[in-house]
Structure 1
Amino acid sequence: PHPQTQFIIFVLFGDVIVHRGGQAWTASLLRMLDVLGVSERAARSTLSRMRRKGWLKPEREGRHSLYALTAKGRRILEEGGQRIFEPRKQEWDGRWHLAVYSLPEKKRRLRNDLRKRLSWLGFGRLAPGTWISPHERHAEVAAMLDDLGAREYAEIFSGLRLEGGDDREIVERCWDLRSLNQQYARFIARWEPEFEKCTQSLVRGDGLSPANCFAQRFWITHEYSPFPRLDPNLPVALLPDGWLGDRAAAVFNGYRNLLNERSKEFIETALTGVNGRTI
């Protein structure tokens, strides 16, 4: 099945457009989405839907429109997505950080939102209403609580050592790393051969066209982009044997870097809009 067009547009903004002024002409978006296999009709209806949801805002210039993310749309990208290039923390001081909340039953929706957002920030569920992370993310959690209007229901505790418990047992309780490792294995099986094949093609001088480089670079980013929200990015000391996350990250970063220059050629052409203006 074709990936959800809405998600494709979010990845396009996060990976391409926010780094080039944050705005794109409708025609530029349609051109890039066409290369990615999205029809003009599907693209236009999705852009309209994202505008109605308050994620995108259009700015009219005569008969043409520029699209940009709203503050609400940027928040969706930034939580989790900002960790897509975050290096793994090699050293760990053995301290844990807790977020604890207690909500009345009528706040069920807020409870669900809290769980989802804490998970995005790399926390694991230790017990009902108690989430844990080896990373100090006090500022991010506080901002998230303010965003949800949940500050009065939650407390953040930092720098705790858990007595009488094995840290790896805590990891097993709080995160399903076995399932995540299987997803990494599938990602590697899909993209490592492509990376090797493309490397050999470039050595022979018969590499992909700029449009194909853009498409390949986009799709590997699209497929990798859920991992920052699934992977708590645990320190090496807490990882299980045979962990594939770092190998998957090496494939992701290596293939993207290989495709960068030719992909940029297509992007610069696509983003040239009204009267040759590039945003």
Structure 2
Amino acid sequence: MSDLAVSAAEGIGADTPRPQTLLLTFFGGHVLDREIHVATASVLDVLDRVGVSEHATRSTLSRMARRGLLHRVRRGRHVYVGLTERSRAILHDGERRIWRAGAVNRQWDGTWTLLGFSMPESWQRQRHALRSRLLWAGFGSLQGGLWIAPGEVDPVPLLDGLGADGHVKVFQARALPPTEVAGIVREAWDIDRLAGHYRAFLARWRDPAAQAPDVLARDLLLESDWLQTIRTDPRLPREHLPADWPAEPAQELFYALSTELRPAARTIAAELLDSITDEQADD
């Protein structure tokens, strides 16, 4: 959970996806669930197509390996990289957000999850990690130390490894009069900023050919950009958002472009990638 939250925080506000975001997108689209390791040279080729330098790609691959997100193995003169249990969990969560949860929450049943915490001043790392995880999980800050998210949110992954259970209180509740739910939404989240992310996505992708020179690069940039866009979205109840909420047209555009680009992108990737099976990597 923490790696995903950190990766999300790094991407917020960036017009161009960071190398790690692009690499995670690449591995999610072309390595996840295929039980393969791919040659570093192949990865360098793919990211070069979207303008990432060899140095930046190599540095990011090394950093991801040190953090337990990639498994590296040498075979002869070639180095191959594959997914770990941690990175598979990250990618499956991203896959769920993109393809199953969606950007529009029309199934909210009125339930809120409330989480309050108070940690010693010396616990700076734990506070930062928890705030990152709360943002990724869709929480907004309602008032000092009290965070709120729509729906039922499992607190266990939020607290995993922090040793902070005794400093956190979690409740599930429903708003009662005179509480105005629309007011809670405006207080806890920057609605204009969230809408701005979707409008910027729409503006960038009205002409997908302008984004990159080939289909594989466009597909990689498209999905990375969309993931960065929805990372900041807590999926607030649709009935409490403005009538012209831009998440819906942005999602329709993403799905349409992905349907158009993905088959050809996968064909190019299959021809490009030098790979070995996970079994061969473990020999």
TM-score class, shorter: 0.7 to 0.9
Comparing 12-21 and 93-102, the one that deviates more: 12-21
1:267 maps to 2:283? no
Query: In the superposition, relative to structure 1, how do residues 185 and 101 fare at CA in structure 2: closer, same or farther (>3 Å)?
Result: same
AA at the equivalent of 1:51 = A
Q: Do the aligned residues in 2 keep the contact of 1:80 with 1:120 (CA within 8 Å)?
A: no
Q: Do the aligned residues in 1 keep the contact of 2:42 with 2:273 (CA within 8 Å)?
A: yes
Deviation at 1:26, TM superposition (A): 1.5
Q: Do the aligned residues in 1 keep the contact of 2:17 with 2:224 (CA within 8 Å)?
A: no
1:109 maps to 2:125? yes
TM-score of the aligned structures, taking structure 1 as reference length = 0.82
How many pairs align? 263
AA at the equivalent of 2:221 = W
Query: In the superposition, relative to structure 1, how do residues 83 and 214 fare at CA in structure 2: closer, same or farther (>3 Å)?
Result: same
1:172 maps to 2:186? yes
Question: 1:114-193 alignment to 2 at 5 Å?
Answer: 114-138=130-154, 141-193=155-207
AA at the equivalent of 2:151 = H
AA at the equivalent of 1:156 = V
Distance 1:274 1:130 in 2: 49
Distance 2:143 2:90 in 1: 26
- Structure 1 residues 194-215: Cα deviation after superposition (integer angstroms, max 9, x where no partner): 38x9xxxxxxxxxx9xx81111
Among residues 217, 232, 235, which one is paired with 1:233 in the alignment?
235
Deviation at 1:126, TM superposition (A): 1.0
- Unmatched runs of 5 consecutive residues or more in structure 1: 198-207
- Structure 1 residues 109-157: Cα deviation after superposition (integer angstroms, max 9, x where no partner): 211221111010011111122111112122xx31221233322321221
Q: Secondary structure of 1:18's match?
A: coil
Question: 1:39-50 alignment to 2 at 5 Å?
Answer: 39-50=53-64
AA at the equivalent of 1:154 = V
Distance 2:153 2:275 in 1: 40
Distance 2:82 2:176 in 1: 45
Q: Which residue of 1 aligns with 2:116?
A: 100
Distance 1:79 1:104 in 2: 31
Query: In the superposition, relative to structure 1, how do residues 80 and 10 fare at CA in structure 2: closer, same or farther (>3 Å)?
Result: closer
Query: In the superposition, relative to structure 1, how do residues 96 and 6 fare at CA in structure 2: closer, same or farther (>3 Å)?
Result: closer
Q: Secondary structure of 1:28's match?
A: helix
AA at the equivalent of 1:69 = L
The sequence identity of aligned pairs, in percent, is 35
Name which structure has the greater RCO, CA cutoff 8 Å, separation 6+: 2
Distance 2:226 2:38 in 1: 24
Q: Which residue of 2 aligns with 1:194?
A: 208
Q: Do the aligned residues in 2 keep the contact of 1:80 with 1:228 (CA within 8 Å)?
A: no
Query: In the superposition, relative to structure 1, how do residues 148 and 90 fare at CA in structure 2: closer, same or farther (>3 Å)?
Result: same
Deviation at 1:75, TM superposition (A): 5.4
Distance 1:274 1:105 in 2: 49
Q: Do the aligned residues in 1 keep the contact of 2:139 with 2:148 (CA within 8 Å)?
A: yes
Q: Which residue of 2 aligns with 1:204?
A: none
Q: Secondary structure of 2:32's match?
A: helix
AA at the equivalent of 1:235 = P
Distance 2:184 2:68 in 1: 39
- Structure 1 residues 24-74: Cα deviation after superposition (integer angstroms, max 9, x where no partner): 221221221222223334322332233234332202333332212334445
Q: Which residue of 1 aligns with 2:25?
A: 11
Q: Which residue of 1 aligns with 2:259?
A: 257
Distance 1:80 1:129 in 2: 28
Kindly report the root-mean-square deviation, in angstroms, between the aligned alpha carbons of the 2 structures. 2.9
1:34 maps to 2:36? no
